[in-house]
Chains A and B, each alone.
Chain A
């Protein structure tokens, strides 16, 4: 029963993700409470939590997207469960190492480990190598996973078909499902950024091994860091979009979306743009060649074109004046699309060089990425989870998500986010454990954000209870 095996592994992923999600939200609330002066945390403790929160959140929603795509892939190609298990073992080891480095070793240089901060050891000496190795373990596990999926796809589809290039010709015989196209485009981006992560870690270790004699170029290291960090955070959403293309029509009882030249073109363009948008992290490094700065803004702007004109338009046109059988799954996909687009607007504003002068490293930055993650990809991943656990019994979903849960989710989520945006507009810096008295408005906003975040947490738990119960059932039923 290959099917069953896939589902068991998946339910284990879902349980892990959910557990770590709740823990990380609580860490987030603790940070906001500290910034709001409602509680005290020692300085190192705050930044340990910040490091762990960032790394864990990115990690779990990345694997959630990967596990979802892996699961759906078996509809089209033969994928083994062992690479999935392999990735899971590496993920668990990596996360445990990461938490140890931060909470026992007091490592607190942030999940983006910007060179050379991790080498200016203000924590236990072993913590830096353990933290960097943890990222290495995660990168290797995920690299094997991504390459394994790509290999499985290329066994069935030729290179041209996988990228949907046949749609640019007048006639074509073979169809590429949009799901396959998006998965390929996304996995290629992921492979590129994981390889960069490994290169970066190699450079760090070469410096440690040489007794800090080999000193790297800080600007080059920063470019590499953000090529990895920015890209990986973005690809999370594309993994979710692959599942959206596959499932949204299906769960709404409508015909599958067909691929076409404009979908193929859009995703090929996205693959390119996404690899150059990361330059916007270096806007305030005036020594960076100006061509790269301009490319950063162009790529960031034009990345939104295919996304909006193809995916957003398709989702809206799909719902508009069509009678939809609304279920928890498609409602969460729909809301997730909205969160993604709102976060995208915040991102495009921030990626404007002349606005970035005001917004760079202000709370506007966590504002926009929390929007497309916490209200975008998280909701889409939950949509998938919800679908898959009920699909197990081939039964239709029980009653749809209640109105109360939706209201709590939206008020909690967007209230929490609005405080970040307002903070950005009031010039409140990001990554401050406390705000100086001149910026005391930051503390007031933080307190309000903490309250909204509690509401968000409650909504998430309510929505997830059913999913978690099902997962436990699936997992134990198969083993008995």
Chain B
């Protein structure tokens, strides 16, 4: 698991434990042996606490938003000149990749792709038939970045590969029976 995936999982597990903990705790306070004789019942000042709860939650959300919104994939390496451009045409059930863009009406050109390590490259991804996905898996088989392959549109994805090696491409949008077998790869040197 790469660090981003791990962070996501840890964040979720921590939240899971907190939520389950709160529910179990609240449940236990409601059992007769815990309510009898304690002299107090219910939450004191519930609306004040509700307001506090609301403010804290809103603050957390706003912080998360400001931290994450600038990191959208749409601007990855936007200020750099790509060293290579790869044209990708997805179709049931394979990817055609080339340094040349194809001509309409002819089969898309397909060639083995080699990309320079440490330099920005750009993928221009489209589809010839249905919607497909274009997900790049690193040498450890972890998903590092993706975009969709949609008929009639070209999605531009920029990336910089630091590690040399074989990267795989998988289709992540269900496109029919052989969807799970739709893959390709390229080399980073």
Closest residue on chain B to residue A438 by CB atoms: B141
**Of B11, B36, B155, B177, which contacts A122 at CB under 8 A?**
B177
A286–B6 CB distance below 8 A: no
Cα A438 to Cα B140 with chains together (Å) = 9
B131–A286 CB distance below 8 A: no
Within 8 A of B (CB), among A280-310: 284-287, 290, 293-294, 297-298, 301-302, 304-305, 308-310
A433 surroundings in chain B (CB, below 8 A): 180
Q: Say how far B169's CB is from chain A's closest CB, in angstroms.
A: 12
Q: Say how far A118's CB is from chain B's closest CB, in angstroms.
A: 9
A286–B1 CB distance below 8 A: no
One of A137-145, A151-159, A339-347, A454-462 at the interface: A339-347
Cα A293 to Cα B15 with chains together (Å) = 25
Q: Does any Cβ of A come within 8 Å of B108's Cβ? A: no
Q: Does any Cβ of B come within 8 Å of A359's Cβ? A: yes
B113 surroundings in chain A (CB, below 8 A): none
A320 surroundings in chain B (CB, below 8 A): 26, 29-30, 42-43
Q: Does any Cβ of A come within 8 Å of B83's Cβ? A: no
Q: Does any Cβ of A come within 8 Å of B119's Cβ? A: no
B12–A345 CB distance below 8 A: yes
A342–B175 CB distance below 8 A: no
Known: A320-B42, A342-B19, A346-B12. 18 other contacts (CB 8 A): A109-B174, A217-B152, A219-B152, A222-B131, A222-B150, A284-B147, A287-B154, A309-B54, A313-B53, A320-B43, A323-B35, A335-B23, A341-B19, A342-B16, A345-B15, A355-B4, A355-B68, A429-B135
- Give the size of the chain A interface in residues (CB under 8 angstroms): 77
B174–A353 CB distance below 8 A: no
**Of A47, A293, A323, A338, which contacts B30 at CB under 8 A?**
A323
Given A284-B148, A360-B172, does the pair A294, B69 have CB atoms closer than 8 Å?
yes
Within 8 A of A (CB), among B43-88: 43, 46, 49-50, 53-54, 57-58, 61, 64-65, 68-69, 71-74
A286–B157 CB distance below 8 A: yes
Closest residue on chain B to residue A301 by CB atoms: B61
Per-residue A-contact encoding for B88-111, CB less than 8 Å = 1, 0 else: 000010000000000000000000
B155–A358 CB distance below 8 A: no
Closest residue on chain A to residue B6 by CB atoms: A425
A residues contacting B by CB (< 8 A) are: 43-44, 47, 108-110, 114-117, 120, 122, 217-219, 222, 262, 284-287, 290, 293-294, 297-298, 301-302, 304-305, 308-310, 313, 316-317, 319-324, 326, 334-335, 337-338, 341-342, 345-346, 349, 352-355, 357-362, 421-422, 425-427, 429-436, 438-439
Q: Say how far B38's CB is from chain A's closest CB, in angstroms.
A: 7
Cα A460 to Cα B7 with chains together (Å) = 34
Most buried by B among A114, A117, A298, A433: A117
**Of A286, A322, A360, A425, which contacts B9 at CB under 8 A?**
A425
Q: Say how far B172's CB is from chain A's closest CB, in angstroms.
A: 4
Q: Say how far A41's CB is from chain B's closest CB, in angstroms.
A: 12
B61 surroundings in chain A (CB, below 8 A): 301-302, 304-305
B143 surroundings in chain A (CB, below 8 A): 358, 362, 427
**Of B8, B41, B131, B152, which contacts A323 at CB under 8 A?**
B41
Q: Does any Cβ of A come within 8 Å of B184's Cβ? A: no
A284 surroundings in chain B (CB, below 8 A): 73, 133, 146-148, 155
Q: Say how far A67's CB is from chain B's closest CB, in angstroms.
A: 28
B68–A319 CB distance below 8 A: no
**Of B29, B71, B177, B181, which contacts A108 at CB under 8 A?**
B177
**Of A44, A305, A425, which contacts B8 at CB under 8 A?**
A425
Cα A399 to Cα B152 with chains together (Å) = 61
Cα A382 to Cα B149 with chains together (Å) = 41
Q: Say how far B111's CB is from chain A's closest CB, in angstroms.
A: 23
Cα A194 to Cα B54 with chains together (Å) = 33
B43–A218 CB distance below 8 A: no
B8–A324 CB distance below 8 A: no
Closest residue on chain A to residue B130 by CB atoms: A117
B19–A426 CB distance below 8 A: no
B64–A352 CB distance below 8 A: yes
Cα A108 to Cα B130 with chains together (Å) = 14
**Of A120, A305, A342, A358, which contacts B58 at CB under 8 A?**
A305
Given A319-B26, A345-B16, A427-B142, does the pair A219, B8 have CB atoms closer than 8 Å?
no
